[in-house]
Amino acid sequence: MNFVQAFVQIEGVRTHYLTAGHGPTLLLIHGGGSGADARGNWKAVMPTYAKHFRVVAVDMPGFGESARPDPATFDYGQTMRNRHMAAFVEHIGGGKPIDIIGNSMGGATALGVAIERPELVSKLVLMGSAGLDISNPDPAAKKALGSYDYTVEGMRKLVGYLAGSKFEITDEMVTYRHALTMRPGSREAMQAIHQRLKEDKMTYARELIASVQAPTLVVGGKEDQVAVLSRTYGYLDLIPNSWGFVLPHVGHWVMIEAPEAFAAITLAFLTGSAFGD
């Protein structure tokens, strides 16, 4: 499928997004790992979603084809991402509520919009999502996430850590993600994101997460070493209108590792065909 590319100025950032299909708007927000972007994260599921929705996949500031502002004058914290994404949702949704799927950092950002601007969110899918302060207790996990050295082999190791044991890592995927990290400003943006996490964390107080009223589907990979299962269950404990779905043999990227299963369960949730709507 050929996706339509577009750009819009949001919060002073030239923001890139891909669109396909027609119907109600469904927004997809990628994760924050090195080399992440809208196309790489969502290309396997966008054609399926486009049969039911006007699907939009956005590049967050510092990623993909979106601008990489100078960290000296731009705040790469989570508060900024939430504000930027809320403004983007207003742009693509015309001020009306839309459905949102977020992975990892994108999940934390989708959750932030649902907390701070609930009138903009119809249904929410959190997949391998950040936002809740439950992490892998193994110190090697944090070390692995921060070990990327901007080489092709370093990217291969990072992908191997993030993906599940049965995922076939292709040269195409590795070189694509590595090339994105080689673009001007990419390293500086990623360093600024990691630095800001020390003060503007990618987590929310439990009472704020519990305040989310939007119907929410929480999806996890059983082998996810980042968004561990206890975090998935934590969201289910806190969010009142929530359902859960966990896939075996899958890591942090359910939409990449098991696209057919991910599209099927999320479509059932979003269209209401199996959730009582």
Q: Is 104 a catalytic residue?
A: yes
Q: How far apart are the first and last CA of the chain?
A: 30
Catalytic residue among 16, 84, 178, 252: 252
Structure tokens at 162: 């993030």
- Please give the backbone phi and psi of residue 275, each rounded to the nearest 5 degrees, phi first: -130, 25
Q: Is 52 a catalytic residue?
A: no
CB under 8 Å to 176, separation ≥6 — which residues?
A: 35, 40
Strand ranges for the chain from DSSP E: 4-10, 13-20, 25-29, 54-58, 98-103, 121-127, 216-221, 242-247
Catalytic residue among 37, 59, 99, 224: 224
Q: Is 138 a catalytic residue?
A: no
Catalytic residue among 66, 104, 122, 186: 104
Contact 89, 117 (CB under 8 A): yes
Long-range contacts of the stretch 189-195 (C-beta < 8 A, 24+): 189/61, 189/62, 189/63, 189/68, 189/69, 189/71, 189/76, 190/34, 190/62, 191/71, 192/62, 192/71, 192/74, 192/76, 193/32, 193/62, 193/76, 194/146, 195/76
Q: How far is CA 210 from the centre of its chain?
A: 20
Q: Hey, which residues are catalytic here?
A: 104, 224, 252
